[in-house]
Homo-oligomer: A and B are copies of this chain.
């Protein structure tokens, strides 16, 4: 493989000059610039990013840690991150933490010893100190890890309020909230929003994991136990779709007998029938913003704001009825 020395030789210059040309720093005369460009073209020279990483102690890779890329929420974020990274000449290393502390820990070790330029983390099982003590730039995406770590997230409580209110406005009387796993900040916040809106009503709360079948099972039991439920606020679109699935199974018509509102805004929501009414996060925007915040940090720019809260937006589709004036 052709290296910088070859280029220097062909251009009849020293490696120093060629390197300066490549990095656009220091002085390089017009004449030399031309000769170097010519040589590079001639030899089809591509600088080795590995060598560069070694001497600069910095790479152009960013690590993206997600719990599980199969969860339909994450590909949308991942795509946005990757697009943005690509634009700025960075490369994305994909890591599935599987929500396992150990794997996450090992990944962080492996990544940092590879000189990843930075980390985007959408999972947060570890002690925050592990992140805060990292010398590598980092951005928390979707979930806040620690006040000191730059974060891009949705205002979950606010979103949940909007979704729940919509359910009420559409005439739902008896509400069920399917909340995600306990202890997960996002799920907790969404529950809080739900509770705030429904504090003077009787409601049912079901706690479940994000696994489709487990969730479906739990929802089925809740709906059988409380057949009068006519509105469901789900903590995620996947859970909402599980609810929809069960509604069909139980012969409940959606939205006539049972209305459902999800949360997240994954593409999947449009595909089911009826299409899912949901509190939609702008996932692409979030991913892109996180990547940009990270790259800004990497390149030493000051961050204007360290915490970016993006508002979720109600998207009304087929699982809720018309809003009626109260």
Binding site for B on A (CB under 8 A): 46-51, 53-54, 59, 61, 64, 68-70, 72, 74-76, 78-79, 82-83, 86, 91-96, 103, 109-111, 113-115, 212, 238, 241-242, 244-245, 248-249, 267-268, 270-275
CA distance A274 to B79 in the complex (A): 29
CA distance A131 to B93 in the complex (A): 22
Q: A50-B50, A50-B115, A113-B46 are in contact. Are A93 and B273 (CB under 8 A)?
A: no
CA distance A153 to B66 in the complex (A): 27
Name, among A83, A110, A241, A273, the residue most crowded by chain B CB atoms within 10 Å (CB to CB).
A273
Q: A49-B114, A212-B270, A273-B248 are in contact. Are A82 and B59 (CB under 8 A)?
A: no
Q: Are B61's CB and A70's CB within 8 A? A: no
Q: Are B69's CB and A75's CB within 8 A? A: yes
| Residues of B close to A92: CB separation below 8 A | 93-95
| Residues of B close to A54: CB separation below 8 A | 48, 50-51, 54
How far is the CB of A164 from the nearest CB of chain B, in Å? 23
| Residues of B close to A109: CB separation below 8 A | 46
The 7 A-B residue pairs with the shortest CB-CB distance in the complex, in nearest-first order: A248-B273, A94-B94, A46-B113, A69-B75, A50-B53, A49-B114, A70-B75
CA distance A5 to B68 in the complex (A): 38
| CB closest chain-B residue, reference A47 | B113
CA distance A111 to B115 in the complex (A): 16
Q: Add 8 more A-B contacts to A50-B115, A91-B95 (CB < 8 A).
A: A49-B110, A69-B75, A70-B79, A91-B114, A212-B271, A242-B271, A268-B268, A271-B272
| CB closest chain-B residue, reference A45 | B113
CA distance A2 to B79 in the complex (A): 35
How far is the CB of A287 from the nearest CB of chain B, in Å? 11
Q: A69-B78, A82-B95, A96-B83 are in contact. Are A113 and B274 (CB under 8 A)?
A: no
| Residues of B close to A68: CB separation below 8 A | 79
| Residues of B close to A75: CB separation below 8 A | 69-70, 72, 74-75
| Residues of B close to A267: CB separation below 8 A | 70, 212
How far is the CB of A242 from the nearest CB of chain B, in Å? 7
Q: Are A273's CB and B272's CB within 8 A? A: yes
CA distance A293 to B82 in the complex (A): 26
| Residues of B close to A49: CB separation below 8 A | 110, 113-114
| Residues of B close to A103: CB separation below 8 A | 86
CA distance A78 to B64 in the complex (A): 14
Q: Are A59's CB and B50's CB within 8 A? A: yes
CA distance A49 to B72 in the complex (A): 32
How far is the CB of A86 from the nearest CB of chain B, in Å? 8
Partner of A114, one of B50, B64, B113, B275: B50
How far is the CB of A315 from the nearest CB of chain B, in Å? 15
CA distance A91 to B48 in the complex (A): 19
Partner of A272, one of B95, B114, B272: B272
How far is the CB of A218 from the nearest CB of chain B, in Å? 15
Q: A59-B50, A75-B69, A212-B267 are in contact. Are A94 and B93 (CB under 8 A)?
A: yes
